[in-house]
Structure formats: structure tokens, C-alpha cells
Amino acid sequence: GAVVSQHPSWVICKSGTSVKIECRSLDFQATTMFWYRQFPKQSLMLMATSNEGSKATYEQGVEKDKFLINHASLTLSTLTVTSAHPEDSSFYICSARDPRANTEAFFGQGTRLTVV
């Protein structure tokens, strides 16, 4: 079945630095990918929709300059958390769907970001 891979699985960074998270669709081409974040004991909150070859669409309240999304190819979307602060510490998850298949979206394994 379709697989979505995220890298890294976890990362610790210092305040003020930037962190890049990759989301790859391994055996299908994803024209659209989605980025979510999850705080402890809370729901997965959609941050943005990543569209291949065009600008991402951000949900209300999500700072686009803070969370840079690039979807340069049909199999790769990246989320860069710029000038990270401790409150950005969270679990970030991407999802993608194979538009040719009659299946639901597949999720990556997530990235645990800790900003110290």
C-alpha cells in the first residue's frame, strides 16, 4: 500500500534556529499534502495544505512566515519551522493521498520537535 515517510522522527533544536521536516510519498505522486500539528492530549490540527508547484494554503491562525512550506516535487513536501521557540514544540504530521487510488489519506509517522 501507499506509504508516506517523514524525516526526522524527532529533533531537538535551540531557540532561534530553524528546523526542516520532510514528507515523502514513497510509491505514489501526491499533488496535495497536508501538514498537521498535535499538542499533548489534543486533536490533530490542520496547519496548511501543500500544493505541488504552487503556494501552500494556510489555515486561519497559522503564521505562514513562521511555518514555511515547500512542495517542489510530486513526492516531497517540506515544512520549515523558522526561528523556533519552545512553544513550537509539538508533534508534526503530514498526510498525502494517491489521487489515482480510491483510498483515504496516508499519514507519515510524525516528527516530534522539541525546542530548548
Partner 1 sequence: DQQVKQNSPSLSVQEGRISILNCDYTNSMFDYFLWYKKYPAEGPTFLISISSIKDKNEDGRFTVFLNKSAKHLSLHIVPSQPGDSAVYFCAARGTSGTYKYIFGTGTRLKVLA
Q: Which residues bind partner 1 (CB under 8 A)?
A: 4, 6, 9-10, 32, 34, 36, 41-46, 49, 93, 95, 97, 103-110, 112
Task: Locate 27 and state its grid cell.
Answer: 510509491
Output 3 or 83, the one with its CB closest to partner 1: 3
CA triplet 99, 48, 62: central angle to 5 degrees? 175
Output 19 or 36, the one with its CB closest to partner 1: 36
Output 32 or 82, the one with its CB closest to partner 1: 32
CB 3 within 8 A of CB 107: no
CB of 6 to partner 1, least distance (A): 7
Q: Which amino acid is at 8?
A: P
Q: How far apart are CA 49 and CA 54, in angstroms?
A: 11
Say if strands 111-115 and 10-13 run parallel, antiparallel, or are unpaired. parallel
Q: How far apart are CA 78 and CA 50, in angstroms?
A: 9
CB of 32 to partner 1, least distance (A): 7
Output 15 or 42, the one with its CB closest to partner 1: 42
CB of 14 to partner 1, least distance (A): 22
CB of 20 to partner 1, least distance (A): 18
